[in-house]
């Protein structure tokens, strides 16, 4: 089916661009309570899967802190508030950033990157936005006293535990999979199944701890000025997580709801507006939050249009 327009951008009096996508909302009993667009087509959740990827660690008894759980779920900006505790976590389990399977890339937070350039410092693997997730994988392997080498391979026990966890939460027996940008496997499933898994996550002790940690430390999950932090700061007891290629997830524990959406063209800007629109419609996010209706500015910072939810969401 042709997915509906979830987000539109205006310039002056006309709509200049549109983004189509699909949204699924499920409850903790496994029912899809809202569906917009094709929610049965398999998608890669990308980094929105991280709270579920962290569940085997949270339930292992490995002794991770709330902050470390937040970092295991993070797509962070590479700021010191991220890299310093991750380095300490690695040292505690007898590893270094060289043991991380993810590659190096510059910090997303420009002031940190600019300062590194001034010092002539090159980014390392620890600056990768997924380094917290990978440290969590290493910590789980260490706790289980199994090989850390190859922990990112789909046949490694750590990744098989992630697969099994996702299967149990989503009710789906098997998944296609691909390799994420950080080198770890990412498992594909329909938005309906992903929303169901998100809704069920807080029902287990480890999942409730993960959601609580994300809500308590939104900047660790994302970074300074990032959308996930802004959204979580504006709500009460709601966790959100962005994924690449226009994916967004939200968990509303007090209502037993999981929300999953995917923008067809992979636009992150549209995913932010779409999740904000859904959360505002549910009444958990203030309708005046800047991501619900975001001004489009010109180079003189004059408002010339806006990015807003499409009629299908409203």
pLDDT digits (tens, 9 = 90+) for 133-145: 999 999 999 999 9
The pLDDT value given to residue 267: 98
The pLDDT value given to residue 279: 98
Per-residue confidence band for 271, with pLDDT thresholds at 50, 70 and 90: very high
User: What integer is the mean pLDDT of 18-27?
Assistant: 98
User: What integer is the mean pLDDT of 34-44?
Assistant: 97
Closest by CA position to 285, among listed 259, 311, 303, 263: 259
CA–CA distance, 246 with 262 (Å, rounded to integer): 5
The pLDDT value given to residue 242: 98
For the chain, which domains are there? 19-266 (3.40.710)
The pLDDT value given to residue 1: 62
CA–CA distance, 177 with 267 (Å, rounded to integer): 22
Pairing of β 14-27 and β 5-11: antiparallel
User: What integer is the mean pLDDT of 29-57?
Assistant: 98
Residue 54 in this model has a pLDDT that exceeds 80: yes
Residue 314 in this model has a pLDDT that exceeds 90: no
pTM of the model: 0.97
Between the CA of residue 92 and those of 28, 74, 115, 142, 144, what are the distances in Å? 36, 19, 28, 11, 15
Residue 89 in this model has a pLDDT that exceeds 80: yes
CA–CA distance, 263 with 22 (Å, rounded to integer): 7
Residue 188 in this model has a pLDDT that exceeds 70: yes
Give the tens place of pLDDT for each residue, 215-232: 999 999 999 999 999 999
**Measured torsion, CA atoms of residues 292, 186, 188, 45, in degrees rounded to the nearest 10:** -10
């Amino acid at each position: 089916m042709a997915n509906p327009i979830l987000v539109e951008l205006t310039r002056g009096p006309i709509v200049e661009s549109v983004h189509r996508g699909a949204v699924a909302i499920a409850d903790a009993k496994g029912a899809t309570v809202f569906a917009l667009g094709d929610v049965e087509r398999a998608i890669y959740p990308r980094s929105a899967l991280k709270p579920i990827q962290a569940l085997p660690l949270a339930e292992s008894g490995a002794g991770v802190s709330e902050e470390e759980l937040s970092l295991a779920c993070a797509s962070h900006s590479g700021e010191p508030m991220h890299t310093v505790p991750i380095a300490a976590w690695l040292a505690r389990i007898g590893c270094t950033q060289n043991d991380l399977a993810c590659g190096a890339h510059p910090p997303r937070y420009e002031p940190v990157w600019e300062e590194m350039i001034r010092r002539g410092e090159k980014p390392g693997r620890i600056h990768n936005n997924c380094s917290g997730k990978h440290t969590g994988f290493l910590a789980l392997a260490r706790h289980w006293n199994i090989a850390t080498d190859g922990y990112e391979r789909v046949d490694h026990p750590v990744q098989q535990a992630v697969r099994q966890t996702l299967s149990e939460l989503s009710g789906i027996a098997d998944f296609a999979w691909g390799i994420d940008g950080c080198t770890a496997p990412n498992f594909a499933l329909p938005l309906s199944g992903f929303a169901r898994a998100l809704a069920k996550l807080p029902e287990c002790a480890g999942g409730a701890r993960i959601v609580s940690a994300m809500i308590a430390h939104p900047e660790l999950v994302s970074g300074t000025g990032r959308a996930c932090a802004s959204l979580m700061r504006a709500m009460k007891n709601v966790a959100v997580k962005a994924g690449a290629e226009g994916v967004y997830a939200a968990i509303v524990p007090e209502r037993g709801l999981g929300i999953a959406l995917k923008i067809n063209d992979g636009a992150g800007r549209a995913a932010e507006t779409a999740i904000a629109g859904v959360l505002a419609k549910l009444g958990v996010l203030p309708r005046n939050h800047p991501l619900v209706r975001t001004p489009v500015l010109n180079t003189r910072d004059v408002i010339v249009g806006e990015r807003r939810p499409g009629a299908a969401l409203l």
